[in-house]
Structure 1
């Protein structure tokens, strides 16, 4: 047997032993990412708060993130067909099967936003249906934002969800809806983008209706999930985690 064949056999045996022991091998990971949720994931630049955190946490164990940008409605399908190795911005409420969830890596602060000129007073979920407000939210908001919001959305004949959050923000400024529901940093980011593209902004009122939503990464491979958790812990301990957030939000 030649030297090259011996090396190949040894590597195969080592790889098999590592897999049997639950030790991951450095991998290129195709991960499903929601498009148009800046500043968390900025597809055109292949960066963002969540992308940078996940990329650097995976790199701690030598893994490489390959983002696969998809509409929210296709993420679950791509995961089920094993076209991706996992999905970012997930949690147990989304009903994903055959996955291993990481520790929470990002937290969203979802709010309701209305135009100040409408003088809306929305302090409780039931105000949405009582005032017959037209509401535009992000996909699966009814699943993610709690039972009270789900009930309010169900009771409202004027509730919708759309994946394009720039359009969501514009619909508010164009006075097509009374209230938009989304993460506050996403609202701020797309308000600036709408203004750059010529839209006229207006004063808004922010309604703090929701507790924070904690998101995780869903991995198909448990060992890689463990590697990610270790990398995430290191990012938090050495201060790099907060540096990433500040880079995007403190400008």
Structure 2
């Protein structure tokens, strides 16, 4: 009887010897790893572990009919909202600011993303283009300016939108830098006013923006006089850039979904029909 008890105790101790290293081997890699490392390991196995539910944006001050500072409407606003809606992402806010400040807000992480970011801004992550802008040179037809190429702007008084030298290519940048009569302005409405008042010979502006302000100013200026538009620039892709890579990827995916739907073309067709002129109403969603 006593020998059986001794044998049982020895057997139990022997089992403990073999089991203890096994337990330690199984537990230590998990228990000794910091929580942050565990989360990082999980993140590697998931494409987007924490989906963004709202995103803040910055964009230009004067950008009607693409965005309006005091209304949730506009060609580009409706495209952006439709894209984000497809992924259940809300627009947290849109801050309107001059181009350079709008960019700085993103680079300093005060805002998530900038709409219509110039190419190759260091440290930012880009989406595909949401829409294309068509920038042109406009002058009063009665002035008979002979403008056929960008270099023809070299001796004329030209007023561009702010940071236009960064948006319109190196050839335009070189001409603008060498022309003492070239300047930029933040307010695009003022560009149109200065053209029709004869203060400048040429303005460089996006086509839909020019037509919007031409219509808006009709009660204050004679904007019915003939204007010549010269298409000197290729259609410009308008991308969104974010300080966070995952956010940019989510927006890019949302834009892809929108472009594959009928809604994308529907909004562009509304723009072609001047739906976003001042007298129009918000399109139905």
Normalising to structure 2: TM-score of the pair? Answer: 0.77
Higher relative contact order (CA 8 A, sep 6+): 1
Alignment partner of 1:92 is 2:132: no
User: What secondary structure does 1:35 align onto?
Assistant: coil
Q: Distance in 2 between matches of 1:151 and 1:98?
A: 26
Partner of 1:119: 144
Return the offset for 1:91.
Answer: 3.7
Of the three residues 45, 55, 69, the one matched with 1:43 is 69
Structure 1 segments, 4+ long, off by >4 Å, are 13-20
The structure having more radius of gyration, on CA atoms, is 2
Partner of 1:176: 199
Number of residue-to-residue matches in the alignment: 234
Partner of 1:142: 165
Return the offset for 1:19.
Answer: 8.6
Partner of 1:59: 85
Aligned CA RMSD, in angstroms, stands at 2.1
1:105 and 1:232 in contact (8 A); partners too: yes
2:106 and 2:113 in contact (8 A); partners too: yes
Structure 1 residue runs without a partner (length 5+): 1-12
Q: Distance in 2 between matches of 1:159 and 1:181?
A: 11
Structure 2 residue runs without a partner (length 5+): 1-37, 275-285
Partner of 1:166: 189
1:100 and 1:218 in contact (8 A); partners too: yes
Return the offset for 1:245.
Answer: 1.6
* Cα-to-partner distance string for 1:178-212 (whole Å, 9 max, x where unaligned): 0000111110001111114x111121011111111
Normalising to structure 1: TM-score of the pair? Answer: 0.86
